[in-house]
Amino acid sequence: MKTVKSRIIHAAMRLFARQGTMHIAVSDLAKEAGLSRGTIYNNVTNPDDLFQITSRMIFQELRDSVRASLDEDEDPALRIATLIRQQIRRVHDEPDWGRFIALFAMTEPQLGKFWAMEPADIIRKGLAIGRFDVPAYQIHSVTTLGGGAMMGSISQVLQGTVTWRKSGSEIAELYLRAMGIGRREARRLASVDFDPLPRLDFSEVAKGLTGPEAMAGSN
């Protein structure tokens, strides 16, 4: 069962994604969440911080979900392919999440951190064991390339111009090839069965919020 804080963040994410704005009315949020305005104020220290709070929680939830789903000892090439396909599938499974990412990931540092950090860590491990063939100084550019491909894929899946299966496999294959994996192996790795990310749930990450962006109360 979702906590009150989780319900608020889910509702805020949906409104930000649908309205395409970083500011939403508390009355709209209360209606979307099925809560009273008083409950919103009791759980949100400052409603003006809701966009930053939502972005931070989306980053934390995605990071935690991905880390829990990927095996640290697994082939780095397979991990990268799976990470890409998991996120593209989630766009299909959770379209409001996908819309939020598509609208704000390129300009909101909280969200951009994920694509800068998680793939880079996997790539470094792959370079250390000779799995990838790219210069270490190009890691930042490689992750930028992947982030841009992800944004394009997200837009196509949301528009219904391509299926998440086709887009996820093709983006993963091309990304692996850019890092020196042969075509046949890249295609094989990009078609391996994988477990999807769990349904979006902010309940756990909401408990750990601290600092100026923290939500009030104990729900």
Residue ranges covered by each domain of the chain:
69-189
Statement: residue 160 has pLDDT above 60: yes
Percent of the chain clearing pLDDT 90 (strictly above): 78
pLDDT of residue 214: 54
Statement: residue 1 has pLDDT above 70: no
What pTM does this model have?
Answer: 0.89
How far CA 120 is from CA of 4, 36, 68, in Å, comes to 35, 43, 17
Domain 69-189 part of CATH 3.40.50.1820: no
Q: What is the pLDDT of residues 68-105, one digit of tens each?
A: 999 888 999 999 999 999 999 999 999 999 999 999 98
